[in-house]
Amino acid sequence: MGRFRITEDAKEDLRRIYRYGVLTFGEAQADRYYDNLFERFSQIANEPC
């Protein structure tokens, strides 16, 4: 299984994305979007090319 790390700057970006999602689309949709981002990160780590 591929591994990935998220820099502190990227973590802050993700927090901002999540907050924007909550304010714009609601908490449930923001949660789904956030979870899907991490699924994609894992997919990219497992299949980089």
**Tens-place pLDDT, residues 7-19:** 999 999 999 999 9
In a domain, 2, yes or no: no
Does residue 25 belong to any structural domain of this protein? Answer: yes
Domain contains 3: no
Q: Please report whether residue 13 resides in a domain.
A: yes
Q: What is the pTM of this model?
A: 0.83
Q: Is the pLDDT assigned to residue 1 strictly greater than 90?
A: no
Distance between CA atoms of 30 and 15, rounded to whole angstroms? 11
Q: Which helix (H) or strand (E) holds 37?
A: helix 27-46
Q: How many domains does the chain have?
A: 1
Task: Residue 25: give the domain boundaries.
Answer: 8-46
Q: How far apart (Å, rounded) are the C-alpha atoms in residues 34 and 36? A: 5
Helix (H, G, I), strand (E, B) or coil at 17: helix
26 lies in a domain?
yes
45, 3 Cβ separation under 8 angstroms: yes
